[in-house]
Amino acid sequence: MYANFDDVGVKSFYQCTAFGLQIMPCPSGLVFDFETQRCKWDINS
């Protein structure tokens, strides 16, 4: 998984799948955390 830095607030990430690289959105209210490689609550909002 790779953070999508083109997405303001990093609310999505890239994931390799059998179909190629896919952009995956985080659930509403969450942002992608590069260190943990997971979507988490945005403490800045």
Token pair of 32, please?
């992608």
Residues contacting 15, CB < 8 A, separation 6+: 1, 2, 21, 22, 24
The pTM score is 0.71
Question: How far apart, in Å, are the Cα atoms of 15 and each of 5, 8, 19, 44, 45?
Answer: 13, 18, 10, 25, 25
Tokens representing residue 45 in the block: 């909002």
CA dihedral 13, 16, 22, 28 (to 10 degrees): -40
Q: Specify the pLDDT at position 39.
A: 95
State pLDDT tens for residues 1-23: 778 877 677 899 999 999 999 99
Q: What is the pLDDT of residues 28-42, one digit of tens each?
A: 999 999 899 999 998
